[in-house]
Structure 1
Amino acid sequence: MKSEVLINMKKKSDTLNPVKGEVSKNFAESLFKVFWENSTSGMRLIDKNGIIINVNSSFCRLFEKLKEELIGKHFSLCYTESQRNSIETSYAKRFNERIIEPLLERKIKLWNGKEIWFELSNSFIESEDGNVFLASIFRDITVRKNNMQKIIELNNKNEALLKTAIDGIHILDLNGNLVEFNQSFIEHIGYTADEAKFLNVVDWDVSYSREELLSIIQSLKTTSKVFESRHKLKSGEIRDVEISASGVTIDEKCFIFCSCRDITERKIAEEFIKESEERFRSIFIDNPVIMMIIHPETGKIIDVNQAACRFYGFSHDEFITTIYSYDLNVSSKQDEFRELWLSKNRKRKLFQIKHRLKDGMIKDVEIYSGPISIRNKKLILSVINDVTERTIAEENVMKFSRIIEQTPVSVIVTDTNGVIQYVNPFFTQLTGYSANEMIGNKTSILKSGLTKEEVYNELWSKITVGKDWVGEFINKKKSGDLFWEKAIISPIADEKGQIINFVAIKEDISELKQMMDDLKFAKEDAEKSDKLKSEFLAQISHEIRTPINVIINFINFLKEGIKIPENEDSIIAYSSIDSASKRIIRTIDLILNMSELQVGSYNVRMKLINIYSDVLQHLYFEFDQLAKDKGLKLKVLQNTDELMVFADEYSVSQVFSNLIDNAVKYTSSGLVEIIIERDEADKLVVKVIDSGIGISEEYIKDLFKPFSQEQQGYTRKYEGNGLGLALVKKYCTLNNAEIKVESRKGEGSTFTVIFN
């Protein structure tokens, strides 16, 4: 390249202001002298003939000559004799044509045979008198060149890879200066090879500050690291890169060997995938519908949403680390894999199974499953609906239908005028009429004429205003035979509360009526002795209990199965029926239990039982709601971990059932407390404590006698037959247990059972 670079050492301002110019000139000369003598680079000034006018100390040190040996001599003196002629000829041409080469690197062989790499820059300078000189600056880069050569030699086996590698390979010194690079790297950053020689890592890496980059470089001296960063190209474009870097040591100097790969497109794709996945996860995670992703081959649960965690009771971590889909399925593991296979192959999308929750509860679920692909993995997406209530409702409908069809009582449905719309099979069996004969007729077809008209008037006056009617008829069969029926007739209302039907549940009590008549005579004979009385009661009570249970159970089915608007009258009616029914059942149970004990027919089954989990826990759940209904608090305190006792489970349950029932019955406010503990003799002790009405001291001595009660007559406040505590006492004796009572009238009672 040719260029006329002339530096006029005479400033124009010096001629305009001689005084100022002189001062400036002196200052400039002083400054130049300091720079000339203290520069670490070798500096040389020669004339057009190549004669050395001046050199600095650094130049003498580089060329290993004294200043006196050089000044006034031809500059070729610094080189070997074999080089001097060509150097002199070349210099004369360049000087005459004012040829200035750009900054160049050159290997020079000195006069003493020593070879040195120099970085050389030249400038032409014109003095005030018009003479032109060549000023040269030499910088020794021998060490750098030698190190690079050693690096190249060190990586000689990978030389082809370095030149042709797609990754941008580059080497940095500890200051971040670019020492070496391959073609891929400079193409990546957009600089030429000559431009790249003067670059520092801060010129292209924009992810970190200078301090952070230098810190990273220092950390890489003894280790390696793969990380992501961002590069700013010469064009200003920002590209994402992945960098693999490690420290290498050459001649006790450390360099950082780096390989970078442009991952911009990959990052864009990853970001798109991430955004897509985030949109999917947003729909998945926050969806109120239960969802889970399952591996079709192993059944492993890959992911679940929050709704699934709430429904099943497992945490997200529990699901994805320990739970498999077949752990939830109540059916076999093989059945679960069969469902997964059907879902994966789109042979079945919707199915209903039973799932077990974390707390052990079983739920009916409806599952919609289908294959999905996530990151090239074939998985199953299952959308799960809890259909437990729907299934129960459907089962109840079926159950109610079967009950109606199979129940051993008559069921009749009429319109509001008494016209029969439905009769069940038992009705036709009892009366002799077929369903076709009855449907469309009125219920009056069954009248015998022996039931008083007042009974029918009362019946219609109640059911037409939405109340239940309970009573008895003497009706007539198709054959003309008379029979007794006990009936419960209830109105059925629509959603608006309008009565649309009446339903009658009727039981043939002819045998019961006859039985009751027989009972009067049998009772007179049975009273001759307690044993005969007990045998009689056992037989009769059993015969009574069976039909009563049927009536009571069916009333409950009607109450749950037929929608009847809740109002004060209906609530009172059902409550009264329920209370009276339970009273009858309890009385019968007590009679039967006492009878079994009296005649010695009770079968004792002694075994080890847990007094809490086998007995008291169940009773707590049975009586807790009853206590809450009365505004009472029922508590169980377990003061010992030794809960096992050798006893008869049924009779022990009856002991505490009676004690807790009495405690709740005779307590109007406060609490009922059950305490389990061990006494000083290590005997298991259970106390039932209430804050009820208490027992008078006079009556305590008769407390455990059959049929005894503190309040007597029809005006007594609390119902009962006096058998409960008598049974408790006998059951305690049966289990080798002792029962004690402490009570004060108006303050409450404490019943203590001690197991020996």
Structure 2
Amino acid sequence: MKELRSSETSLERYRDLFNRVPIGLYRSTPSGQIIEANPALARMLKYPDVDSLLNINAKDLFIDVQVRDQWQDQLKRNGYMASFEVQLRCFDGSIIWVEEHTTAIKDDQNKVLFYEGSLQDITRRKRVTRDLEEHQRILSTLMSNLPGMAYKCKNDEHRTLEFISDGCVLLTGYNPRDLVHNAIVSFAHIIHPEDLQVVREKIQLAVDVKSSFTLTYRISTASNHERWVWEQGWGTYSPEGTLLYLEGFITDITDQKLAQLSLQESETKFKTLYESTRDAILLLEGETFIDCNSRAADIFGCLKDDLIGKSPIDFSPERQPDGSLSSEKASEKIAAALAGKPQVFEWQHLRKDRTPFDSEVRLNHIDIGGTLYLQVIIRDISEYKRAERTRMVLLQISESVNEVESLETLLERVRGLLGKLIDTTNFYVALYDEASDTYTFPYCVDEYEENDSYTPQQLKKSLTDYVRRTGQSLLVDDETFQELCASGEAVLVGVDSKSWLGVPLTIHGKHIGVMAIQSYNDEYVYDCRDLELMTFVSDHIATAIERKQAEEALRRREELFRAMIVNSYDVISLCSSDGSILYKSPSVTRYFGWAVEELVGQNIFNFIHSDDKQIVRNHLNELLAQEGISHGSQFRYRHKNGDYRWVEAKSTNLLLDPSVRAIVTNYRDITEQKKADEELKSSEERLRILFEYAPDAIFVFDLDGKVIDANRFAGQLTGVDRNEMKDKNFIRLGFLDAEQGKIARKVFLANKRGEPAGPDEIILRNASGREIIVEIRTFPVTIMEQRMILCIARDITERKQFEYELIAAKEKAERADRLKDAFIANISHEIRSPLNIIMGYTNIMTDILQEHMDPEELAFLDSIDSAGQRLMRTVDFVLDISRLQAGDIEFNIGDILLPSLLKRVTNGMVPQAEKKDIELSFVNDAGNVIIQGDEYYLAQAIGNLVDNALKYTRKGSVALHLYRQENSDDVILDIKDSGIGIAEDYLPKLFEPYSQEENGYTRAYEGIGLGLALVKKYLDLHDASISVSSTKGQGTTFSITFPASIIVTNQ
């Protein structure tokens, strides 16, 4: 009972839960008959109570039959149905959406007893979902049709997008998925680099104060086009105030922006036009200027303030060029314009500095705020007027170019016409000849200078030459000329002018000369306009010169051709198709004795040898068969004296040429050539004999070294029959070893390049094994139009043996010579030691005894000292020459200030010169020359020369002169004396050791002939050269040349 009561309690609780649960619950038979339902289901289906639901078949509640069948099939198959959404019809006919969960309750035999299920009303949820989807659709449609794009992004450096509308495609060219989360490109990346930083700063500023932001900037689309966009955005923040993301809208304002920029540009343009127009624009109220543009001030040469408040009369002369009063005429024009009649007229104005200028004036009335004003437009037409005059001048020049025959007359007329526009008082045209690098003056008028038009002149560094070289027109004042001179481009040629203007004369890009004008007294006479005018005229002048030169060349060519025909070695003949002679050149008389008039009208066959007539006739027929062809032939032509001469003729068919209409024949007498051919055959035979019997071996090779021919001696030299050598490569015949083969190949290669080779020596082993030293010379030659190599080989074995013996003898002699030099050095040393003692004691004796000895006794001691000094110098010379020849010398190279050294040497010789009353001088025209060398040896060399000059000069002078050599960087020292001179036959031996001039009175002078030999060797050490010129009895000049290679500074 207790269990029964417990069960009943549970059932009551279940029943209570079944009735109270807000979810509809039901149980139905397998056929669908509802047998149990809770109140929630009745309320859900809007039935009055639960009982009214009972016995209703659940299948009848389904709206969609197909859905019902699907529901029933799945329930039978699976035994349950979970979360099945379906529409059901309510008791009042309304329709609701429900979510159903159904389970089949089965017995032990798996038979369905009934179905239990639950229903939940989801109608509101479905409606909300549908509304939400509709709202999303509408929002998507709105987004898609907006002229821009909405976005949601992070506030990071990339502006990482979390959402972007489809308008992104139209605006940026990118698909939204390309930009969201920076999949392919970030939004920051497409912002123009110049605008990106400003965009970031403005967004951050708005975020800092939590306000919205508005931006205008540029983006770069996917197709790399630039667009202007307008963006409005705002931040979304957390409750704590932290920025979560940015939201906003971006639209394309490119057209608007471009229109705005265009408007700004238009405003700027109109303002610029007003200010920068070439015309003066002024606003006139009554007869007073109240406004003007900058050009007006420029034209009148004043400031704007100088014009405002002034009347047009203030800037006009008293009278206009037509004689009318400016004040009356101005009032008349102003009144007419104010009356509505626009005025256009020419007027002469005055600038602020009172210089007049021509102008075109336009007056138009305008209404501004009900007040009438005049718009005054003034155009400076001074240049136009000048251009009008210029056009007339240029037209007359152009007509003159075609009318005048003489170039001189044309240039005279050009000068007169240009004189209407510019000062042509001094005017010339210079033509350049490239071959001679000179100028001629076909026309020249000058106040101070006269130029012979036919005398060529070299105008190096002149303004004329500068303009021709550069091809640039040039206007030169004094300042410009000084700049050109300073740069080395020009020097003064002729009389200095104040202003000079020159333009190049150019034909086909080549500068053939210069046309120039100049003024000797007015620096400002020419300006850039004159330069342009002259440049333009120069084209006409160059064209005229070209035409005149062409006419002259044509005339010369005609004369040349006429002279060539008259003096030609060829006879020129014109004949008709049947052979009738129409023309003969005068040379026919010189070569064949016939007068021209004796031949014209006759037939050519009357003068041709009978054996050759058919040959000539055949050639004539071949010529007549085709117009324009040429044909050559040889035949015999009758001389007036009855002899027949061989001629070589070339004929061309020009019968259809309207300027000729004949067969043209050039023929010449080749009788002597025929004889020469016979002689040539004989000469060839003689050459063959010379080739065969020449004392040297002669080979003819092709360019690869193959033997083409060889003479008899070639076979003897090699020991091989020459016929066996033919067509074989000489190197491979076995006469040469590897080393000698290399030499032969180099020789062949040189000749292959067209370069002769030799003499070269090679060692050849002939067929018998004997080594022969052969000297070869090779020459590239052309035989029968083929390039070959001619080789001449000479056996020099015996000569080489003789040379070896000669060299050995020479070496032996040189060893003997060195022994001699060593011997002399030892002897000189042996002499010097006792000599030093003698001289030393002599000096001591002189110092001690000079007060106790009379002059005659002192003279003995002086003689001993003088002889000792002479002997000491001789020993020094011998020692120095020995050291030089033995190579035992220390050569210390350093920088030598040459003028300073020469002064020291000269000053050291002054006592010796004064003792003989000889004038000794040194002149430096070379500046501070510094050379590299040994100062001691160079001083010795120059000192010896000066000492010799003083020694061999009895009276007069010895002069040293240092100067630069013309057209060279070398420096020369001349040592000139007025002494006894040197015999001409002795000059070649002058610098040989131990040589002295034997005849004459030179024996009266001391020396052993080593001084000049030492000088030569000292100078050789310095790479300097010495030369001498002398006249017996008149003096001698030694010249030392210091080459540029040893000069360190040459200032």
TM-score clears 0.5: no
Q: Which of structures 1 and 2 has the bigger CA Rg?
A: 2
Q: TM-score scaled by structure 1? A: 0.36
For CA contacts below 8 A with separation 6 or more, give which structure has more relative contact order: 1
